[in-house]
Amino acid sequence: MRVIVVHGGAGAADAEREARRRAGCLEAARRGWAILRQGGDAVEAVVEAVAALEDDPEFNAGLGAVLTRDGQVQLDAAVMRGWDRAAGAVAWVTRTRNPVRLARLLLDRETVLMVGPPADALAGEAGLPRVDPAALITPRQRERLATFLASRRVEEGGTVGAVARDSSGGLAAATSTGGRLGQRSGRVGDTPVIGAGTYADQRGAASATGTGEAFIRAVAAFRAVSALDHASPDDAATAALATVTEVGGRGGLIVVNARGEFGVAFTTAQMVHAWIREGEEGTGA
């Protein structure tokens, strides 16, 4: 069964923005679904879906990402292909509009993870759209950073991601983030860490969002997919999040298994998400 599931990040409830975020997730899922419907593979579907969220300023990825303590955008992304466990990831990207497309470039290269200016340079060599870092900063995120610096109150951020199964049974996951509001420059969370924030193999695929350091320590995305050996996707996601809670974190996971069944779980107040499968689409928070 073909299916795609998209999340827009786990965090605090936000009634004012929820409708826009649900709509954004559903539109992203539809963009990925269009690829699956035409016979495309799961990798291209999740990359297209996540790129749509990177272009939507409602989400903490790409345009509109949160700012570091010194007022900069710092972007991370990862893509993993389930059938051969190929992976690509980038961190500390500042000049690439869609980091998920850059991560996709690495799937068939020797390098799995690239960081900083060399990663941005590779994007330029490949003809991916590059931008002035200031073009990715929105007024809303400038205001949020000012509030953070004044109060030091840590806000739950968000990370976007997608998982999919295509018509041939191929599975894939992709995740993208701007990190944590007010983080120190150079900090990297779980998104580009394969097995922590992003993972896929022949059993399933998972994309995570939440307290990055805790997801790294829990190896949460890998745990969720491994649990599919004996659990439903919902139960697998819930079990993986329990290990995140044990090390002081919280957040959410989306998971799809080899049969095209999917699960969604989160320990925050909200995790906006959307899904499409044969004859059905929907959103949740």
Q: Where on the phi/psi map is residue 8: left (φ > 0), alpha (ψ -120 to 50), or beta?
A: alpha
Q: Where are the alpha helices (DSSP H) in the chain?
A: 15-37, 42-54, 99-105, 116-125, 139-151, 212-218, 220-226, 233-246
CA-to-CA distance for 45 and 87, rounded, in angstroms? 15
191 in catalytic set: no
CA distances from 173 to 20, 70, 77, 210, 233 (A): 24, 31, 11, 16, 14
| Residue 10 three-state SS | strand
- Which DSSP symbol is given to 95? S
Residues 6 or more apart whose CB falls under 8 angstroms from that of 25 comprise: 6, 7, 8, 53, 272, 273, 274, 283
Residue in the structure block whose two tokens are 């610096």? 149
Phi, psi of 218 (to 5 degrees): -85, -10
| Residue 83 three-state SS | coil
Q: List the catalytic residue out of 159, 175, 209, 267.
A: 159
DSSP-assigned beta bridge partners for residue 3: 165, 277
CA 67, 153, 115, 44 torsion-angle sign = negative
Catalytic residues: 159
